Amino acid sequence: MDLILASQSTMRRRILNAARIDAQFMSPQIDEENITKSLIAVQALPRDIADTLAEHKALKISRKNLDSWVIGCDQILVFEGEVFGKPVSPEALKDTLSRFSGQTHSLVTANVIYKNGKPQWRHVSISQLSMRIITATEIDTYIEAHWPVVKHSAGGYHFERTPDLFSSVRGNWFDIMGLSIDPILSFLNQNQTGSPFQTPRLAAVLGHPVAQSKSPLMHGHWLKKNQVSGDYIAIDIPPMRFNTTVRMLFDVGFSGFNVTIPHKVQALAFADDMSSRAHRIGAANTLIKMDSGKISADNTDGYGFMTNLGSQSSTWLPGAGPSLVLGAGGAARAVLVALLDAGVPKIYLCNRTRARAEDLAADISYCIEVIDWEDKQDILPDVFTVVNATSLGMTGKPPLEFDLKNVNPDALVTDLIYAPLETQLLRDARARGCEVVSGIGMLLHQGVPGFDAWFGSWPAVDEELEALVLS
């Protein structure tokens, strides 16, 4: 199908790509401001204003591409009967956000389809967005951080970047993003003979901060490679806004989320039910919306850790003897549970803050013995697995001071760090004849169950993916 999107919006383009629709993208370059002013002058309804703007865009492109299906799009924001366009200055945006604070406004989304210079289909949706009460300081901070981007958006915000500005929404994600994909696909499927297009499913990684996450790269690769109709993004949510924002995102159409620092414990409490491993670990890194509408929490970190060991080692036996785990954070918690479930008879736990290690051991199992940080070298002859679950040795972090001269040469040594891919710990262990396993595989494998739950496909972890994530 020869399809053109008459829009320069990167988000609309992303939605079409997520639906696995091959389209061209052209900017119509119409005089939106004067068209809008003339329509307001004759007291046109907001939906008619949006529809007319979308139609002008589609018509302009269609006249030059008569054989193509052309999608025209436009959005306008309406509050207290006033139509809001793009903010003309930071000062104007400050005034706008002050007016929206604690109030509900409407977002009118219009889509039309043209062919041979004539309209073939049109659709208008209206979403209701309620903004939470925002302080003057918050508004100033927001404008300073986001002005270069939001100055091009009606109302001066990007919902996808800062959904925590809102307390509730009535509408769906695609309408709010400016492309009503469900009715568009319904029309396109009636007019093409190939395999039917499917509405993209949505997932995201949630964190604070979250820009450093490799998850969008990883899941984006799987979506493309498996030709799955779906999209995966990163969303930054402050901890105090987590519950409200996540509930709202589920309401607008998300199938689930990866959850990273600092939300893992909060995610577990948020869910309606949880897997046994998430319960034992005491934290969740995966949220899934079930067919019943309930939210289920899981923790796949331990799965990722064990699968990585199994894929990289042909000799490791969990029951061969004790393990040594360094660290007492969330990653260590998942590793401890995974090792015990795999059959490791005893684990020595060592952390720079001994009290934290003791609390963790008490939470999980009597099979865990806490030792002092200074004594970690002394236990090496007795252990068959060594795991670094701290950030020590990571690029930009202090080194891990760990003398391996007494290490059991039959031991497997693994580091959860993957930047650098081979840490000093792994180099030292390899030099002493130990089998070593890097941490990149844990990152990749932990994402597999979530992808399957959200998108209905079990993806492969391979060298191509590893190279992509490490690039």
Among 264, 346, 397, 405, the active-site one is 264
Helix H, strand E, coil C: the string for 202-270 is EEEEEECCCCCCCHHHHHHHHHHHCCCCEEEEEEECCHHHHHHHHHHHHHCCEEEEEECCCCHHHHHHH
Rounded to the nearest 10 degrees, what angle do helices 215-225 and 463-470 cross at? Answer: 140
Report yes or no: 329 and 351 within 8 Å, Cβ to Cβ.
Answer: no
Q: Which of 245, 10, 219 is nearest to 130 (CA)?
A: 245
What phi and psi values does residue 105 have, to the nearest 5 degrees? -125, 165
Identity (one letter) of the amino acid at 198? Q
Distance between CA atoms of residues 371 and 382, nearest Å: 13
Give, in order, the Cα–Cα distances in Å from 378 to each of 253, 405, 435.
Answer: 53, 10, 20
Residue 435 tokens, joined: 């089998």
264 catalytic residue (yes or no): yes
Residue 267 to residue 249: CA distance in whole angstroms: 14
Distance of alpha carbon 440 from alpha carbon 363, whole angstroms? 28
DSSP string of 27-82, one letter each residue: -----HHHHHHHHHHTT--HHHHHHHHHHHHHHHHHHH-TTSEEEEEEEEEEETTE
Question: Do the beta carbons of residue 263 and residue 239 sit within 8 Å?
Answer: yes
Please state, as a whole number, how many other Cβ atoms lie within 10 Å of the Cβ of residue 464.
Answer: 11
- Catalytic amino acids? 264
